[in-house]
Amino acid sequence: MLASEALLKKDSRSIMIKGIACTLVLWACSLPCPLGMRAAEAGPAPSETGDGQLARRILQDERMDEVVRRGQQLLKSGMNAGSGYQEVWIRDLNTFIVPLLDVAPRQSVRDALLIFLHFQGQDGDIVDGYVPKDKAGAGYAYRDSPTQPLYRAHKNTVETDQESSLVQAVCRYIRKTGDVSVLDEAIQGRSVRERLDMALDYPLNHRFSERYGLVWGATTADWGDVQPEHAWGVELDENSHRAIDIYDNALLLVAIADFSRTATDGRAELKAKWEDHHARLRLAVRRHLWDDASLKFIPHIYLEGSPFPASFDERKVFYHGGTAVAMEADLLTPNEILVSYGQMRANMRLAGAATIGLTLYPPYPEGSFKNPSMRPYSYQNGGDWTWFGARVVCQLARHGYVAEAYQELAPMLERVIRHEGFYEWWSMDNAPKGSGHFRGSAGVLLEAISELRGWANAANREPK
């Protein structure tokens, strides 16, 4: 019996959830591995092993050693997002900052984070990325900073995650290094702590729906930064459709929780402020975005109507990335995590994806986005992204589903080794796409490996 099944049998809170979770997980896990991969290559079936044997298999898995070696080598070489990007992006840096600190000088990482605050807007907003001035030619609406004259920065205004990403990244830096002094460093007359507080205020002051108690952005595909109404699609304009989604709100919850734990020591009023915001936002997410009937998050709540045709039932779309971040934000019960995992596995099989990193399913139909990269099963519209798939692995392991996490990690390890590197995303035939040397993929894989090995080391130390 799966450990997850046993948990379900002990929990009597909802017969419906138990039944659906068991059905989905058993069915999805019983299907053959994608692309003809042998069971041995995919890792142990959760029912085949006890904790001790599973721990030994994880610790002895040489594929992990090879991926860690390759990942650390890549992270040593820079902080830009990948070979297709000149910029240091905050949403990317946030996802590889912890393993980066294992191989890069602490001061260089600290400096890279603080550059974002030199470009912070007067209302607290945070830019997406910055780039050396002589490489700033991508067509963005750049901004300058008198205290960082060597760089230019830009903000993709369809997003509502830059502020959350920076706050989380700084907090992760502090937890990894113990360097709390960074919070008191002054940047253009304000301390880093004040500026992070301003950053969290920004979405609540400028991207907040009073009706729903949630933050909004432009309509995008799950966590993506491309809206349907424009051929490029990264800036809000008169054609944009504002919408509320789980990714933006879950990531904001993670950032608020991190800030409250890491940056409010001895500041009772500041701590109380953000604990109150966290409680209210969490309640609003559960009230408005969680669909009890289908046991998943709805894709969007539209503030002025949808950009998609009425013939497309968007409520059937399952967002893998936003759901992974919701797990990180502790928005889901153990049973709901199992339901979500089962649906992800089912979606993966239906789409023909190689890993659980499938962005979403079903994809938005042909012609839904003016940007040609957003065809069905392409890029953010149903591509397979290790950048989010490995986050699912981390969360499964963190919530106790270690055998399942190990099983899902295996095909991601295999393709890094097979293709000798880290790629931005993968097609349904498991071909690498997008930017090569994608540091976000390396970062989340190294964190997933660390999570699993941390569990395995602890399991080996437990008295028999």
User: pLDDT by residue (tens digit) across 38-68?
Assistant: 223 333 344 344 799 999 999 999 999 999 9
pLDDT digits (tens, 9 = 90+) for 234-247: 999 999 999 999 99
Q: Note the pLDDT of residue 22.
A: 47
Q: Confidence class of residue 379 from pLDDT cuts 50, 70 and 90?
A: very high
pTM: 0.91
Domain locations in the chain?
A: 1-77+337-464, 86-316
Q: What is the DSSP letter of 218?
A: E
Are the CB atoms for 363 and 373 separated by under 8 Å? no
Predicted confidence at residue 50, as pLDDT, reads 79
Fold for 86-316, please state it. Glycosyltransferase (1.50.10)
Percent of the chain with pLDDT over 90: 87
pLDDT at residue 74, rounded to an integer: 98
| Residue 23 reports pLDDT greater than 90 | no
Cis bond upstream, residue 105 (ω within 30): no
| pLDDT score of 461 | 82
Q: What is the percent of the chain where pLDDT is above 70?
A: 89
- Across the range 132-147, mean pLDDT stands at 94
Residue 346 has pLDDT above 50, yes or no: yes
Residue 120 has pLDDT above 60, yes or no: yes
Task: Give mean pLDDT, residues 164-182.
Answer: 98
- Residues near 122 by Cβ (< 8 Å), separated by ≥ 6? none
Q: What is the DSSP string of 288-338?
A: HTEETTTTEE-S-EESS--SS-TTS-GGG-EEHHHHHHHHHTT-S-HHHHH
Containing 339, the helix (H) or strand (E) segment is: helix 334-351
Contacts of 249 (CB under 8 A, 6+ apart): 214, 215, 281, 284, 285, 289
